[in-house]
Structure 1
Amino acid sequence: MPIQILADSAMPYWQEFFLEVGEVKTFKAGELSAEILALPSSAQLRAYLPCVECLLVRSTTQVNQALLALMPNLQFVATATAGYDHFDIEALHAGDIAWYAAGGCNAQAVAQYVVCAALQLAVDDRFLLKDKRVAIVGHGNVGSRVANALHALGAQVIIYDPPQLTKAQNTTDLRISGSLNSPCYVSFSEVLKADVICIHAPLNSHPEHPSRHLFDADALSQLTGSQYLINAGRGEIIDNQALLSYFENAVKSEKVKLNVVLDVWENEPTITTDLVGHLRIASAHIAGHTLEGKANGTFMLYQQLCHRYNIAQKVKLSAMLPPDNTSLPKHLQNELHLNEMFDGESAQRLLKNICHLVYDIQNDDRVFRAHMAQFNTFAKLRQEYPIRREFSALRLNVKNTKTSQMLRGIGFVISNDGTT
C-alpha cells in the first residue's frame, strides 16, 4: 500500500516531488485548525486524517496535541520552513513521531535581503561597506551566508555566537578577523560598538545564552544614530516596546535616531505598528520568500521522505526552477565593464542597481508602509507576497576577476568564467 501523505498545497512543486514517494492529498493553510475541522465542509478531510502517515506543513499549520490526536497512524511530520515554532515538540516525542524542519532552505534568500538592505542604506547615506565593521549575531545557516556576502563586499566581519564559539575554541584561531575560515568571535559588548549589526540568532531561553530580548532597553541605549541594526532573524530578539521607547525618547530629546531595518517583529501578526514610522526599511517577514527558497524547502522534505522510506531520488531541484527572463540593461553592463576595480561610491551604487533588478527592497518597504498605515494587514501582506527570485537567476558577464569573485560572493552567477 502506498505511503499516505497529507501536504500543504502551497508548497511549490509538491506534485513533482511527493507523488514520487506515495499517495498525496493536500490541504490549504488554516484547514487543519480545530475550528475549521469541526465544520461540516471539512468532513472529507477529517475522515482522511486517521489514514495519514506523513504530514508535510508550512509555518501556517500548528502541529499540536489536538491535531496529532486525530492522526493515530502518523509516523513523520515535516515543515518546509527553517523555523519550527509551530511544532509541539513534546507532543511529537510523546507520540513517538519523528519530525524534521528544513533548516537553511531559505538562508540564501534572507542573506540577499540583508545585502540589499545594507547596499540601499550605504548608497542613501553615502558610506562604503568596505569601511564598516559588521557584527553578525548568530552564525548559523543564514548568519554564515550574510557574513560571507558582506566579507565579499569588503566589510570587516565579526561574529557573536557563544554556543558556536564554545565548539570552535579548540580547533580555530578565533581572532583572525576577516577570514571566512577563521571567524573573529567577539563579546556582546563588542557587537554594540559595530557600525552595522545583523541579527540571525535562533530564538531561545537558554539560561547561559538567552536570545529573547537580547537587544533590550539597556543594549539599545548603548547604540547611536551612526549605527545600523538589521533584524531578519527572529522578532523577539529585539524588545520592540523598548525599541519604540528608545525612538520616542530620541525624538523628544532631538537626538539622531538609530538606523533600524525590521523584517521580523514581536507578536506577529499583531505587531507594534507605531514602530513603522521610525524605521529605515520595514517589511512583513518576507526576507526568505523567494521561489528558490520555497522550492528548496519542498525538495528538502522530498529528500527526507526518500531517506526515511529507502526510495531512490529521481527528481532534481534544478530541473524544476524556470529560467528568469531578467537581463542586465546595456548601460549597466557597460558600467560593469568600466568599473574594473569595483571600488568607491559609484561602483557601490552600480552594485545596488544590479541587485535592484532582481529584488527591489524599497518597493517592499513602500507597500508595507502604505498598507500598515491604513490597518494591520501584516498576515495578509505576508500570505499574498509576490514570490521573487534570487540573484542566481540573473547571469552576469564580467571580465574582471576581482569583480566576478565579489559578485559570486553575494550570490550571482557569472556566465563567462565557467563557474555556476
Structure 2
Amino acid sequence: MNIFYDENMPFAAEFFADLGDLTAFSGRHLSAIDVSSADVLLVRSITQVNEALLQSNKGLKFVGTATIGVDHIDQNYLASRAINFHSAPGCNAISVAEYVLSAMVVLAERHLLSLSELTVGIVGAGNTGSRLSEKLNALNIKHVLCDPLLAEKPTDKRDFVSLEQALTCDVVSLHVPLTREGKHPTYHLLDAQRLSQFSEQQILINACRGEVIDNSALLAMKQQGHALKLVLDVWENEPNILTDLIAYCEISTAHIAGYSLEGKARGTEILYRALCQQLDITPNKQLTDFLPLPTISKVEIKHKFDEILLNQLVKMVYDVRRDDAIFRQQISIQGFDHIRKTYPTRREFSAITVDLDRALSSDVPHQLGFNNKTG
C-alpha cells in the first residue's frame, strides 16, 4: 500500500510505517502525477484535493486531512469515486485557543488593559470556539458565543447572541469555517460595511480562515487611520497575501495558530486511527509514544495566582510575539510557506506541570490546561 503524506505532518512516519510504503511531499506544490500511485493520501489545509489533483490516480482508497477545516477538500468528488474521507475535527482547537489567549495577554500588557474587565465575542462556537470559551471561563472573563448554525440545534443548550451583538465586544475572535453557500456563508463575513462598525478601542482576532475578512476593505480602513487593533494569523490568498496589511497589525503570523506540536500531531493520530479502522487493524500506537519532553516541564509557584502571574505563565509557554517577529523579518525574504515549514517547536500548556503551594491553591492553571500539582 502506497501512503503519501504531507511532510509537515509530525510523526507521520512513526504512525504509518507499519501500514505501507511511505512518501512525503510538499503540500503546496503537489501535482496529479505526484500522487498517481497513491493508495492513501494524507494532506493539510494548503493542498486542494479535487478532480484536478486525482485525475491520474485510479486506485486511491483513503483521503485524510490532518486539519479541522475541510474547505480544501472536494468531498462530493471523493464520494463519487467511493473514496473514504476523514478529517481531524478538534485536533488543533486547544492550540488556536492558546494562541488567542497569548495574543490577549500581550495586547493587554501593551495597552495597559485589564483582562478581567474585557468582554470577548467568540464568533464560531465549534471545537475551537468552545476551547477558547473554557479558558475564558477559567479566568472569569466575560464572553458571548455567536454561532447561528449551533443556535438552531436543540441539542446545544448554550446561550448564543447575534453576530451584531458579538461584534460590539472589546475583543472579537473569529473561529468559523470558510463557507461560500448555505444559510450562513462566512466568506467576507466581515465586509467593508461590518468593519466600519468597529470602534477604535476594539481588538479583532482572526485565527480561522483569511477569507472570512475582506482584507482589501480592512487595509483601506486602516490606511484611513482607523485604530482598530488587529491580530491576524490567516490571510486572503495565502501564500500571496496582502503584505501592506502587516504594518497595521498588532500581531501578524503565518497561519500557525494551530501549529503546536500537540495540535499538529493529534491530526496525524486521528488519521492513523481512521485508516486502521478502514483496514480492520487494531491501532497499537498513540501520540504519547512520540511526544518529546518539553524544555521546561515543571513550574513551582509560590505566589497567589493573579493576572501578573497569568501573563508570566502564558508567555513562558507560548509568547506570540516570537512568531510575530519571525513573520515580519522573513515574509519578504523567505516567504509565507517557508515560515510555516520551518516553524519552531511550540508546546501546549498541557506539557507543563504547575506546582502550587497548598496554601495558595488555585484550580485556574488546571482549568487553563496546565497539569496541576498541589504541594
TM-score range, shorter chain: over 0.9
Matches of 1:337 and 1:350, distance apart in 2 = 10
Considering only aligned residues, what root-mean-square deviation do their CA atoms show, in Å?
Answer: 2.2
- Preserved contact between residue 157 and residue 184 of structure 1 (Cα < 8 Å): no
Q: Aligned letter for 1:371? A: Q
Q: CA deviation at 1:5?
A: 2.6
Q: Aligned letter for 1:242? A: A
The corresponding residue for 2:325 is: 366
Matches of 1:111 and 1:401, distance apart in 2 = 30
The corresponding residue for 1:185 is: 160
The corresponding residue for 2:253 is: 283
* Aligned pairs for 1:104-143 within 5 A: 104-143=90-129
The corresponding residue for 1:302 is: 272
Q: CA deviation at 1:268?
A: 0.8
Which stretch of structure 1 is more off in the superposition, 148-157 or 158-167?
Answer: 148-157
State the secondary structure of the residue aligned to 2:4. strand
Matched, 1:79 2:77: no
Which stretch of structure 1 is more off in the superposition, 295-304 or 55-64?
Answer: 55-64
Change (3 A) 1:30 1:304: closer
The corresponding residue for 1:177 is: none
Q: Aligned letter for 1:349? A: I
- Preserved contact between residue 206 and residue 233 of structure 2 (Cα < 8 Å): yes
Q: Aligned letter for 2:310? A: L
State the secondary structure of the residue aligned to 1:397. strand
**Any unmatched runs of 5+ in structure 2?**
none
The corresponding residue for 2:339 is: 381
- Preserved contact between residue 58 and residue 81 of structure 1 (Cα < 8 Å): yes
The corresponding residue for 2:217 is: 242
Matched, 1:292 2:262: yes
Change (3 A) 1:30 1:298: closer
Q: CA deviation at 1:230?
A: 0.7
State the secondary structure of the residue aligned to 1:379. helix
The corresponding residue for 1:338 is: 303
State the secondary structure of the residue aligned to 2:153. helix
Which stretch of structure 1 is more off in the superposition, 314-323 or 259-268?
Answer: 314-323
State the secondary structure of the residue aligned to 1:34. coil
Q: Aligned letter for 1:359? A: Y
The corresponding residue for 1:6 is: 4
Q: Aligned letter for 2:303? A: L
Q: Aligned letter for 2:312? A: N
Q: Aligned letter for 1:396? A: V
Q: CA deviation at 1:119?
A: 0.9
Cα-to-partner distance string for 1:251-271 (whole Å, 9 max, x where unaligned): 2xxx5x011100011111111
- Preserved contact between residue 71 and residue 179 of structure 2 (Cα < 8 Å): no
State the secondary structure of the residue aligned to 1:90. helix
Q: Aligned letter for 1:297? A: G
State the secondary structure of the residue aligned to 1:19. helix
State the secondary structure of the residue aligned to 1:230. strand
Matches of 1:410 and 1:219, distance apart in 2 = 32
Cα-to-partner distance string for 1:346-399 (whole Å, 9 max, x where unaligned): x32321221112112111111212223x45712221222112111111111013
Q: CA deviation at 1:68?
A: 1.9
Cα-to-partner distance string for 1:276-318 (whole Å, 9 max, x where unaligned): 1111111111111111111111100111011112211211212
- Preserved contact between residue 28 and residue 46 of structure 2 (Cα < 8 Å): no
Matched, 1:70 2:48: no
**Any unmatched runs of 5+ in structure 1?**
38-44, 173-182
Matched, 1:201 2:176: yes
- Preserved contact between residue 392 and residue 412 of structure 1 (Cα < 8 Å): yes
Residue of structure 1 aligned with 2:190, choices 179, 199, 215: 215
The corresponding residue for 2:363 is: 405
State the secondary structure of the residue aligned to 2:90. coil
Matched, 1:312 2:282: yes
Runs of 4+ in 1 over 4 A off after TM superposition: 400-403
The corresponding residue for 1:152 is: 138
Which stretch of structure 1 is more off in the superposition, 356-365 or 7-16?
Answer: 7-16
Change (3 A) 1:245 1:171: closer
Matches of 1:107 and 1:75, distance apart in 2 = 28
Q: CA deviation at 1:125?
A: 1.7
Of structures 1 and 2, the larger Rg is shown by 1
Q: CA deviation at 1:242?
A: 0.9
Q: CA deviation at 1:213?
A: 1.1
Q: Aligned letter for 2:275? A: L
Question: What is the aligned-residue identity percentage?
Answer: 40
State the secondary structure of the residue aligned to 2:20. strand
Cα-to-partner distance string for 1:300-341 (whole Å, 9 max, x where unaligned): 011101111221121121222111131567xxx4xx4222xx
Cα-to-partner distance string for 1:68-112 (whole Å, 9 max, x where unaligned): 232212111111122233322232122121111112111111110
- Preserved contact between residue 7 and residue 27 of structure 1 (Cα < 8 Å): yes
Matches of 2:325 and 2:350, distance apart in 1 = 25
- Preserved contact between residue 41 and residue 62 of structure 2 (Cα < 8 Å): yes
State the secondary structure of the residue aligned to 2:204. strand
Matched, 1:28 2:3: no
State the secondary structure of the residue aligned to 1:351. helix
Q: Aligned letter for 2:366? A: R
Matches of 2:47 and 2:181, distance apart in 1 = 26
- Preserved contact between residue 216 and residue 239 of structure 1 (Cα < 8 Å): yes
Change (3 A) 1:149 1:27: same
Change (3 A) 1:91 1:401: farther
Matches of 2:58 and 2:241, distance apart in 1 = 37
Cα-to-partner distance string for 1:115-157 (whole Å, 9 max, x where unaligned): 1001111122222222222110000111100111112111112
Matches of 2:29 and 2:129, distance apart in 1 = 33
